[in-house]
């Protein structure tokens, strides 16, 4: 390896353009004759649209068109679909309601697009959008998922009687019930997971253009997976066949899941660009982002855990109600099912698990995968249960976890997942050491002397990444395969382009992916260009989410590199009249082992392209592609420990110490991994302490701006202590597991476990905002006074 | 944002003229409240009259009677950083240094803040507790008369705040509990002891904006100590209740912040 190979802290190649303000984002794209779109959005959470009057708007300066859902349907644009089929326990398929890109009959959440205006300037488009008169007849509203299934509840979709989308189960119910029948101890809790708004720094944006001569569309968009976007736009939304549609996702400023999906606005821009005969741009403002980017989480669960007389877990029973919002977004059904309940075993040996998940419609923004997607919810359930159980039986929370850890691999859980490798003791030990767990009592005494409450809490998380083995997910209902593809193009002068189906929107792929080439050929990373985000350039790809770009995306690159290396060696052997097996690659040179014969990588590349002297029968060129389909998920795991100090006078919680000890398998660039962990932790701590999407009873989002939605800031979090332990993933060539979501998955229960410890209460629902913590202390004080 | 016409005024009288001529003109100072409101299309002034280039509205001076005069277009960072303010009115300097973030502090102005009278803004508490007077192009107000309710002041439509004068004060301190999301005040308590007697003014919590707590003032006149106010609480009835906290929580914060401000003074 060179100084830039695997394990090196190479500075991010992409940062030069980002830090100097020279990134090229969708909103930077300006096309000749481009018009601007502004959407007319519903101010009501549930209403019938009686009429849409557009005359006044159409007469305004610069306005090209005012289009609504009736025209969209007439033009054959298809409904927005959920691409993962879930069957209820009775075998019936999920009840998917119709979702149109523009809805001109019944609106079901505040902010839903009813019509779109295209005009010469953004100002004109916005002015005209305000002049569109929509006559609404308000309908009763459901906000809380617990109200959706009630008798007499308003009905949202004719396709979903009782607002039920599906009633799904996993695990053996009878065996689990039997475990509870013979349990020594049963621990039960209600556990909620609060709704979050993703808030990527760059809001969504789309620029669509239609070339009438070629009948061809181009869409620039903020997507985490441009090929998937093209696939659904073509196959389901009937915008254009795939070969007549190019999707480009240029620089994208954060996604966190919210940019996986195909939204109404992108469809409307494409459709409108043909109707008005000019390119159409739309960029979300922050309010639109709050109202229309798919939200995350929003679960209500009840969980029960059964323990035997040795305090070993014998069973886990979970009932979860998940709010999917007003419509089923692209992967919404998979999140509270296969991405959630399959992780309920945590790091523990639990012989019996049964989970029932019901999902419902409400008059709220659609909910889909958000950093972690299902796994934070699972981790929250299991790690809150572990903490509560330990306290209930009077065992140290670390010892109780250790007693129940999975220690032998592979380990088949009762909920599909088969853990391939791990060492949970190692990460627990590393975290306890780093936070000085033993010294906590004296730190607590110190805080008490200052009038503060101090608490400590841990979370031993596991998650499933490297999404995903195609056959397995296909059997579970996925509408797509989840392999990845790569192409390695060596240019005649020896520089290299790597085309990947992964997409970087903050992850630093241009750097880490280049490090693979540095490792393999000893070439500088500056000689490598990573090409992604353009369906005309990259053969195909499933994109970036689920911490899959390392374990799956880089594995595809490795497979292509194997082929390149093999061919380069054959050429070298031929030119140097040696045997292929004797060729070694080092520092950008191909050498004949044990001799001083060598050729540079550039000379080999040139030879491949001049083709003057290649081995008999060999094709010219040095360019290889590969598809990689994983054989299993990967299982990053670790321990987070959080220490908080609470000001009892104000209820303010300060995270004073936070340690994350993670096992991500092989790490390509530790600096980038630390950045991913930091970001994830801030999001997880944000969920636990600060963030909350709050609706009023009419379905208005109260926290629809940063004045009311508490985004974590740098001074809300401490300087993190990070440790890594390594068990290599046996399932992929690099031994990688994935690190993108772990921070957000593991941290919320660690924070809440620390807070309940500090407050001396059993439960506390997220977010632990100052007023809610103060309220809990008041209630506790009153209860104690009464006793 | 709707279309608007921008004017740069170079004197107060020119600003008054421009405002008179405009259809629906608005004064623009730091723009930290007005511009976001316009961007959200919640305000649509036909004309903007920028006050920030008017020399007579800028600057901080210590006057012969020991009072501090601050021009209306002086930004928060200048107040926070002023040696005179730090020495004479440490509570005011500290308050200005806690408004928003560095960007906001370098754009937002004291005149804009008090003219806007956001119930969660910090400055109104200082003006009321310190017994400041507010000079305009027409007259002079006491702080007690100036703040008349949530987002409301005694200013006429065409009246321009030109300066704020803070009398010399023996003690001053401000304690703020920020709203976790906006970081405006959930409860900010300014305490002062000086020519105007002892005063306690609360911002962030009241439904009608800033208010004084006379009971605390009396107690502090008796003994200037945190304990003196520790058992005094304001009624929750007239306090704000929202997703960030109930009125009872805000009432508690008022007492806690009052204690902390007294301790810091
Ligand atoms: C991100 C952010 C965070 C903030 N945090 C805080 C905070 O923590 N605490 C806090 O107190 N404030 C906060 N603010 C508000 C900030 O202090 C503003 O500067 C202030 O509210 C308005 O001052 P301005 O100079 O920007 O006025 P502008 O926005 O220009 O004007 C506000 C209003 O006052 C009028 N006006 C302006 N000057 C005069 C004048 N001389 N005479 C008469 N009328 C006038 C305008 O016509 C307008 O109606 C924050 C603002 C932002 C954007």
Rounded mean pLDDT for each run of 10 residues along chain A, 787 residues in total: 88 96 97 98 98 98 97 96 97 98 97 98 97 98 98 97 98 98 98 98 98 97 97 94 97 96 97 98 97 98 98 98 98 98 98 98 98 98 98 98 98 97 98 98 98 98 94 92 96 97 95 96 96 96 93 97 98 97 96 96 98 97 97 97 98 98 98 98 98 98 97 97 97 96 98 98 97 97 90
Residues A236 and A123 in one domain: yes
Crossing angle of helices A770-786/B247-264, nearest 10°? Answer: 100
The size of chain B, in residues, is: 265
- Position A491 scores a pLDDT of 97
pLDDT in tens, A225-283: 999 999 999 999 999 999 999 999 999 999 999 999 999 999 999 999 999 999 999 99
When CB atoms are compared, the residue of A127, A649, A775 closest to B256 is A649
Residues A130 and A167 in one domain: no
> Chain A: residue nearest B246 by CA?
A771
CA of B87 to the centre of ligand 1 (A): 25
* A15: in domain: no
**Predicted ipTM beyond 0.85:** yes
Give CA torsion, residues A99, A103, A109, A112, to 10 deg. Answer: 110
Query: Which CATH number fits the domain that encloses residue A243?
Result: 3.90.1170.50
**Could you tell me the residue range of the domain that residue A719 belongs to?**
420-455+635-787
Distance CA A525, CA A12 (A): 11
Using only the alpha carbons of chain A, give its radius of gyration. 27
- Using alpha carbons, select from A107, A734, A669, A747 the residue that is nearest to residue A431: A747
Residues A122 and A109 in one domain: yes
Tally of structural domains, chain A: 4
- Position A573 scores a pLDDT of 98
Residues A697 and A776 in one domain: yes
Using only the alpha carbons of chain B, give its radius of gyration. 18
- Position A123 scores a pLDDT of 96
Residues A229 and A275 in one domain: yes
Q: Are strands A205-211 and A411-412 parallel, antiparallel or unpaired?
A: unpaired
- Position B195 scores a pLDDT of 78
* A122: in domain: yes
The protein residue with its alpha carbon nearest to ligand 1, atom 43, reads: B160
Torsion sign, CA atoms B164, B136, B20, B43: positive
Report yes or no: A261 and A232 within 8 Å, Cβ to Cβ. Answer: no
Distance CA A175, CA A177 (A): 5
Query: Which CATH number fits the domain that encloses residue A167?
Result: 3.30.365.10
CA of A770 to the centre of ligand 1 (A): 26
pLDDT block averages, 10 residues each, chain B of length 265: 95 96 97 96 96 95 96 98 97 98 98 98 98 97 96 96 97 98 98 92 97 98 96 97 98 98 97
B30 touches ligand 1 (CB under 6 Å): yes
Residues A149 and A230 in one domain: no
Tell me, letter by letter, the H, E, C secondary structure of A178-211.
HHHHCCCEEEEEEEEECCECCCCCCCCEEEEEEE
* A775: in domain: yes
Distance CA A784, CA A32 (A): 71
CA of B25 to the centre of ligand 1 (A): 17
Percent of residues in chain A assigned helix, strand, coil, to nearest 5: 30, 25, 45
Residues A210 and A235 in one domain: yes
- For A110, the token pair is 């505040």
When CB atoms are compared, the residue of B41, B180, B249 closest to A774 is B249
Torsion sign, CA atoms A89, A90, A91, A95: negative
* A561: in domain: yes
Q: Which residues contact A658 (CB under 8 A, 6 or more apart)?
A: A640, A641, A642, A643, A681, A685, A717, A718, A720, A721, A747, A750
When CB atoms are compared, the residue of B3, B181, B246 closest to A123 is B3
User: Final residue of a domain: which of A243, A274, A292?
Assistant: A292
- Position A787 scores a pLDDT of 85
Percent of residues in chain B assigned helix, strand, coil, to nearest 5: 35, 25, 35
B104 touches ligand 1 (CB under 6 Å): yes
Q: Hey, of A197, A649, A690, A716, which one would you mutate to test binding to chain B, going by the most B CBs within 10 A of its CB?
A: A649
Residues A133 and A148 in one domain: no
Residues A384 and A397 in one domain: yes
Residues A609 and A711 in one domain: no
- Position A674 scores a pLDDT of 98
CB contact under 8 A, A650 and B3: no
In the sheet that holds A598-600, the strands lie side by side as A583-586, A589-592, A598-600
User: Final residue of a domain: which of A609, A628, A647?
Assistant: A628
Q: What backbone phi and psi angles, to 5 degrees, belong to A37?
A: -105, 140
Crossing angle of helices A424-435/A397-404, nearest 10°? Answer: 170
Q: Please give the C-alpha separations between residue B118 and each of A718, B133, B206, in angstroms, as whole numbers.
A: 32, 19, 11
Residues A650 and A780 in one domain: yes
B198-226 burial, b at 16+ Cβ within 10 Å, e below that, comes to bbbbbbbbbeebbbbbeebbebbeeebeb
User: B115-265 has which fold?
Assistant: Enolase-like; domain 1 (3.30.390)
* A95: in domain: yes
Number of CB atoms found within 10 A of residue A492's CB? 14
* A7: in domain: no
* A243: in domain: yes
Residues A617 and A755 in one domain: no
pLDDT in tens, A2-54: 689 999 999 999 999 999 999 999 999 999 999 999 999 999 999 999 999 99
């Amino acid at each position: 390896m060179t100084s830039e190979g695997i394990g090196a802290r190479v500075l991010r190649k992409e940062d030069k353009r980002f830090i100097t303000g020279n990134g090229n984002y969708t909103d930077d794209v300006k096309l000749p004759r481009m018009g601007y779109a502004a959407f007319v959005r519903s101010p009501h959470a549930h209403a019938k649209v009686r009429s849409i009057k557009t005359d006044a708007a159409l007469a305004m300066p610069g306005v090209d068109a005012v289009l609504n859902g009736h025209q969209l349907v007439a033009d054959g644009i298809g409904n927005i679909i959920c691409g993962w089929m879930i069957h209820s326990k009775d075998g019936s398929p999920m009840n998917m309601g119709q979702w149109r890109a523009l809805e001109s009959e019944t609106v079901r959440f505040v902010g839903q697009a009813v019509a779109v205006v295209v005009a010469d300037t953004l100002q004109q488009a916005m002015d005209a959008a305000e002049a569109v008169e929509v006559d609404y007849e308000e309908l009763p509203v459901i906000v809380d998922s617990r109200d959706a299934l009630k008798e007499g509840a308003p009905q949202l979709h004719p396709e979903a009687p009782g607002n039920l989308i599906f009633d799904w189960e996993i695990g053996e119910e009878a065996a689990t019930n039997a475990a509870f029948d013979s349990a020594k101890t049963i621990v039960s809790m209600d556990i909620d997971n609060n709704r979050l708004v993703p808030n990527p720094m760059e809001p969504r944006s789309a620029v669509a253009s239609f070339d009438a001569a070629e009948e061809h569309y181009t869409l620039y968009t903020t997507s985490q997976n441009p090929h998937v976007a093209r696939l659904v736009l073509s196959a389901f939304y009937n915008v254009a066949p795939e070969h007549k549609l190019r999707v480009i996702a240029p620089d994208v400023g954060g996604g966190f899941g919210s940019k996986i999906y195909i939204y109404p606005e992108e469809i409307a821009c494409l459709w409108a660009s043909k109707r008005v005969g000019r390119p159409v741009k739309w960029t979300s403002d922050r309010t639109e982002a709050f109202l229309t980017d798919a939200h995350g989480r929003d679960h209500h669960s009840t969980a029960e855990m059964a323990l035997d007389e040795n305090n070993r877990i014998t069973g886990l029973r979970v009932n979860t109600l998940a709010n999917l919002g007003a419509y089923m977004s692209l992967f919404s059904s998979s999140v509270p099912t296969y991405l959630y309940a399959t992780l309920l075993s945590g790091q523990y040996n639990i012989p019996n698990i049964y989970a029932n998940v019901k999902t419902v419609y409400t008059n709220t923004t659609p909910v889909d995968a958000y950093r972690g997607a299902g796994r934070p919810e699972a981790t929250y359930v299991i790690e809150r249960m572990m903490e509560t159980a330990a306290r209930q039986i009077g065992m140290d929370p670390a010892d109780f976890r250790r007693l129940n850890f999975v220690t032998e691999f592979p380990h088949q859980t009762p909920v599909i997942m088969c853990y391939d490798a791990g060492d949970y003791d190692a990460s627990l030990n590393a975290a306890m050491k780093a936070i000085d767990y033993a010294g906590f009592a004296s730190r607590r005494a110190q805080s008490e002397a200052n009038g503060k409450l101090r608490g400590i809490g841990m979370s031993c998380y596991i998650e499933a990444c490297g999404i995903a083995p195609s056959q397995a997910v296909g059997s579970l209902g996925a509408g797509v395969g989840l392999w990845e593809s790569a192409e390695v193009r060596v240019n005649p002068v020896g520089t290299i382009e790597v085309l990947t189906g992964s997409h970087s929107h903050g992850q630093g792929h241009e750097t880490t992916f280049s490090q693979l080439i540095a490792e393999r050929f000893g070439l500088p990373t500056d000689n490598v260009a990573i090409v992604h985000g353009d369906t005309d350039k990259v053969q195909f790809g499933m994109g970036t989410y689920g911490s899959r770009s390392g374990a799956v995306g880089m594995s595809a690159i490795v497979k292509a590199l194997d082929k390149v290396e093999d061919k380069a060696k054959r050429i070298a052997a031929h030119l140097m009249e040696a045997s292929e097996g004797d060729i070694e690659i080092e520092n950008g040179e191909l050498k004949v082992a044990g001799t001083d014969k060598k050729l540079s990588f550039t000379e080999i590349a040139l030879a491949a392209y001049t083709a003057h002297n290649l081995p008999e029968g060999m094709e010219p060129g040095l360019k290889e592609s590969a598809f990689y389909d994983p054989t299993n998920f990967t299982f990053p795991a670790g321990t987070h420990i959080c220490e908080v100090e609470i000001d009892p006078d104000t209820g303010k919680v300060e995270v004073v110490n936070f340690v994350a000890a993670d096992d991500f398998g092989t790490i390509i660039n530790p600096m980038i991994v630390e950045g991913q962990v930091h970001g994830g932790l801030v999001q997880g701590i944000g969920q636990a302490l600060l963030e909350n999407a709050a609706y009023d009873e009419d379905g208005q989002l109260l926290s629809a701006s940063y004045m009311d939605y508490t985004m974590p800031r740098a001074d809300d979090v401490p300087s993190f202590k990070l440790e890594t332990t390594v068990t290599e993933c046996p399932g992929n060539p690099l031994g990688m597991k994935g690190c993108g979501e772990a921070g957000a998955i593991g941290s919320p229960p660690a924070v809440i476990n620390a807070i309940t410890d500090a407050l001396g209460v059993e439960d506390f629902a997220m977010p632990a905002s100052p007023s809610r913590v103060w309220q809990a202390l008041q209630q506790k004080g009153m209860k104690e006074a009464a006793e | 944002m709707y279309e608007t016409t921008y004017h740069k005024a170079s004197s107060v009288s020119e600003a008054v003229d421009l405002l008179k001529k405009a259809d629906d003109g608005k004064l623009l100072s730091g723009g930290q409240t007005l511009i976001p409101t316009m961007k959200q299309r919640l305000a649509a002034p036909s004309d903007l009259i920028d006050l920030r280039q008017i020399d007579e509205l800028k600057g901080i001076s210590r006057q012969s009677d020991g009072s501090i005069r601050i021009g209306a277009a002086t930004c928060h960072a200048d107040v926070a950083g002023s040696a005179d303010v730090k020495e004479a009115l440490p509570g005011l300097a500290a308050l200005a240094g806690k408004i928003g973030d560095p960007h906001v502090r370098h754009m937002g102005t004291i005149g804009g803040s008090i003219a806007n009278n956001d119930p969660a803004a910090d400055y109104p508490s200082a003006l009321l507790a310190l017994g400041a007077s507010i000079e305009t192009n027409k007259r002079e107000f006491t702080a007690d008369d100036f703040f008349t309710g949530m987002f409301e002041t005694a200013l006429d439509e065409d009246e321009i705040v030109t300066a704020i004068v803070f009398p010399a004060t023996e003690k001053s301190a401000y304690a703020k509990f920020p709203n976790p999301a906006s970081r405006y005040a959930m409860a900010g308590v300014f305490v002062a002891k000086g020519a105007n007697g002892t005063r306690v003014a609360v911002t962030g919590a009241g439904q009608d904006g800033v208010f004084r707590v006379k009971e605390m003032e009396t107690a502090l006149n008796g003994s200037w100590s945190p304990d003196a106010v520790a058992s005094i609480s304001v009624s929750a009835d007239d306090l704000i209740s929202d997703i960030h906290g109930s009125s009872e929580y805000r009432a508690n914060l008022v007492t806690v912040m009052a204690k902390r401000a007294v301790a810091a003074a």
